[in-house]
Amino acid sequence: MATLLHIDSSVFPGEASSSRSVTAAFRETWEEQHPQGTVIYRDLAANPVPHITADAWSAGYAAPSERTPEQSAAFAARVKLIEELERADAVLIGAPMYNYAIPSTLKAWLDNVLLLGRTAGETPSAQGTPVIVVASRGGSYAPGTPREGYEFVQNYLEAVFTGTLGLDLDFIVPELTMAPRNPAMSELVSLYEASRRRAFEDATTKAKELAERLAA
């Protein structure tokens, strides 16, 4: 049966987080389709991975026999994360927008799994693996909006997941999530509600479609 790598990075728990709520809906549908499958779960807010260090970085370019004990330990932590990605038949990531970018905890995970000659390069080891990213945001940064130029989440993740890791990327974008809590955005509440409904519908639909695709 298929293995799903599920990563959340929101600092907010449960239903207080739009990205966690949508990834939970995706995962629930996925598990209904794969009751005997495996889910590898990482909550990067509760259990952050180490930020990349000089030892962890340089170990990737040194022969095992030449690594210091510190390099070996740091590299072993990277390899564990890389192997989880390589084992996955599909990847689900919650990536809320904080200050126009992804959470630093998710960036740390990416820095660890990006390894030239293995996950990156001419033949990336996880190439073709489907990845669904729930890219929630408090406002809207869609084309044609006043803050279109501040969209650094989807652009960055497109470059990393598609351009570098060779993954098959798809987005779900719940937007305007601050509208119910910000009086200045009150006129946008209906648009937020529509976006939220669409995000949950997309999560269910994409989980089913992906399950069928992997089973075929």
142-191 pLDDT, tens digit each? 999 999 999 999 999 999 999 999 999 999 999 999 999 999 999 999 99
Instruction: Give the residues across from 6 on adjacent strands.
Output: 41, 92
Q: Residue 24 — pLDDT band, cuts 50, 70, 90?
A: very high
163, 201 Cβ separation under 8 angstroms: no
The overall average pLDDT reported for the chain is 95
* pLDDT tens-digit series, residues 1-11: 789 999 999 99
171, 65 Cβ separation under 8 angstroms: no
Q: How far apart are CA 20 and CA 17, in angstroms?
A: 5
CA 51, 20, 18, 148 torsion: positive or negative? positive
Q: How far apart are CA 98 and CA 120, in angstroms?
A: 26
Q: What is the mean pLDDT of residues 101-126?
A: 96
* pLDDT tens-digit series, residues 39-95: 999 999 999 999 999 999 999 888 899 999 999 999 999 999 999 999 999 999 999
Residue 19 contacts by C-beta under 8 Å, 6 or more apart in sequence? 8, 9, 10, 94, 95, 96, 134, 135, 136, 174
pLDDT of residue 1: 79
pLDDT of residue 3: 94
- Between 173 and 15, where is the model more confident? 173
C-beta neighbour count of 101 within 10 angstroms? 14
With vertex at residue 65, the alpha carbon angle to CA 59 and CA 69, rounded to the nearest 5 degrees, is 60
- Between 71 and 34, where is the model more confident? 71
Instruction: Give the residues across from 8 on adjacent strands.
Output: 43
Q: Is this structure's pTM higher than 0.85?
A: yes
pLDDT of residue 215: 78
Q: Residue 35 — pLDDT band, cuts 50, 70, 90?
A: confident
pLDDT of residue 153: 96
Report CA dihedral (6, 55, 118, 152) to the nearest 10 degrees. Answer: 50
Q: How far apart are CA 21 and CA 6, in angstroms?
A: 13
Look-up of token digits 């390589």 = 86
